[in-house]
Copies of this chain bind each other. A is one copy, B any other.
């Protein structure tokens, strides 16, 4: 580094695009470091609006509102990867945008993400771009069945994808997902899914939290358990890949990397499934088991502060509270559990309402 990066002083204002639970938890972490937060979100009922007096209620493409927002803050970050490219570019001209536009471009588009991983020799599932039925049939020929057809953009929690188990399903899947640009991915018969939450500071320092083992239900994260129950060599490999990704992206902030553990007992390996340029649901366990949690780590990074200590002091399981499950708090809380509720006023099926971290004691 040619010069020492600017350190944002306590008291400065962090601008956060997105007012969901991640934005809320970022604002809470920012407050613990003495920062103010200004939340930008089109939804006037955003849960993050409850934890700061500074807000902008406007669309993500409202350039006048974005300009006022930029003028009111000292650095801009975001809680979701689908920030429009024009919005990101405009904000980045006015204030530091961290993580930067490169991370957004790569993670917004599955093809760009896979191209990036491939260019860095980072293992991921084989894939083919699909512009029509000819591509899809050729891809199925090369990758085999089953395979997964996905939109390249805006997919999450199982939305925007179709599993193809027999060749006859190709046309219907195509019809269901087009006209969006698509990508065909080989179906990976994985042992488990794990993830690593990694941070890179403005000074280039890189620190990773321990890998978590993630279990999904109905395509939504159900639990993250740490330690992940994989071989130490795989744990180290996951951390190294996550670090390589943030270094390659010249990244500042916290990033989540999801992996498939493949190959079974004989020859275990890792494939990157997805990267998310933000704090990550599978990193919520860090609140209970680390001195610095992922939210504080992100704020430290984007403020130019030294990264905190990511070491884990306990075994832990994080359980998401989906929909009406939130009503089990507080009555079903047991002794060594730490609830975190998002203050969402309306309970809806499939909606993330909170999570509970529970310390796992050795018998």
Chain A interface residues toward B at CB < 8 A? 7, 10-11, 24, 28, 31-36, 49-53, 55, 288, 291-292, 300, 303, 305-306, 308-309, 311, 313-314, 326, 329-331, 333, 335-345, 354, 359
Contact = CB atoms under 8 A, between A and B. Distances in A.
Given A52-B53, A330-B300, A34 B336 contact: no
Nearest to A333: B306
A51 B33 contact: no
Given A31-B50, A343-B35, A10 B326 contact: yes
Contact of A49 (B53, B311, B336, B338): B53
B32 A28 contact: yes
A31 B343 contact: yes
A314 B53 CA distance: 35
B291 A338 contact: yes
Nearest to A342: B34
Given A11-B345, A306-B333, A341-B32, A288 B291 contact: yes
A11 B343 contact: yes
Contacts of A336: 291, 309, 311
Contacts of A308: 337-338
Nearest to A354: B34
B343 A34 contact: yes
A33 B313 contact: no
Contact of A28 (B28, B292, B314, B326): B28
Contacts of A55: 53
A279 to B, nearest CB: 15
Contact of A330 (B51, B305, B309): B305
A278 to B, nearest CB: 19
Contacts of A345: 11
Contacts of A305: 330, 333
B314 A335 contact: no
A302 to B, nearest CB: 13
Contact of A7 (B35, B309, B330): B330
Among A50, A303, A308, find the residue whose CB has the most chain B CB atoms closer than 10 A.
A50
A343 to B, nearest CB: 4
Contacts of A35: 343
7 contacts: A7-B330, A28-B28, A32-B340, A33-B341, A50-B53, A51-B52, A300-B330
Contacts of A10: 326, 329, 341, 343, 354
